[in-house]
């Protein structure tokens, strides 16, 4: 899969593509809840605010036996968007998604 990175990490083959996804948004909009729903197929009303960045991984298999490892970065909303660290979080991200409340 062109455009994807491959990493040599435990549990991942060297040829397994990695898709880096960074989730951005203001505090309290539900970034962590969306990620939890995607990763674990559950929702909790008792979430605590993310401080800094949390990292998650999930492996997906697509038709044709193509495995892709998703590396999901959950950024804390409070001050993170203005943080000098934001540039490093976004570095080489394949997907940047901004979550907002209506």
Q: Whole-angstrom Cα distance, residue 92 to residue 14? A: 18
- pLDDT of 15 > 80? The answer is no
Q: Is the dihedral of CA 63, 64, 65, 67 positive or negative?
A: negative
Burial, 65: exposed, middle or buried (Cβ in 10 Å; 0-12, 13-18, 19+)? exposed
pTM given for the model: 0.76
Instruction: Give the mean pLDDT of the chain.
Output: 81
pLDDT of residue 8: 47
pLDDT, average across residues 75-92 = 74
Query: Phi first, then psi: what are they for 101, rounded to 5°?
Result: -95, 150
What domains can you pick out in the chain, each with its CATH number?
15-99 (3.40.50.300)
Q: Whole-angstrom Cα distance, residue 13 to residue 78? A: 36
Residue 68 pLDDT grade (very low, low, confident, very high; cuts 50, 70, 90): very high
pLDDT, average across residues 12-37 = 85
Non-local CB neighbours of 7 within 8 Å, separated by 6+ positions: 14, 16, 18, 69
pLDDT, average across residues 34-51 = 85
Q: Beta strand pairing status for 53-62 and 5-6?
A: unpaired
pLDDT of residue 3: 53
């Amino acid at each position: 899969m062109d455009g994807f990175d491959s990493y040599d990490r435990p549990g991942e083959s060297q040829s397994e593509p990695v898709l880096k996804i960074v989730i951005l948004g203001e505090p309290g909009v539900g970034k962590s809840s969306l990620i939890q729903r995607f990763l674990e197929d559950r929702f909790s009303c008792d979430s605590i605010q993310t401080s800094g960045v949390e990292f998650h991984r999930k492996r997906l298999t697509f038709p044709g036996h193509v495995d892709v490892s998703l590396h999901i970065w959950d950024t804390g909303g409070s001050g993170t968007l203005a943080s000098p660290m934001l540039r490093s979080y976004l570095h080489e991200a394949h997907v940047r998604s901004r979550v907002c409340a209506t």
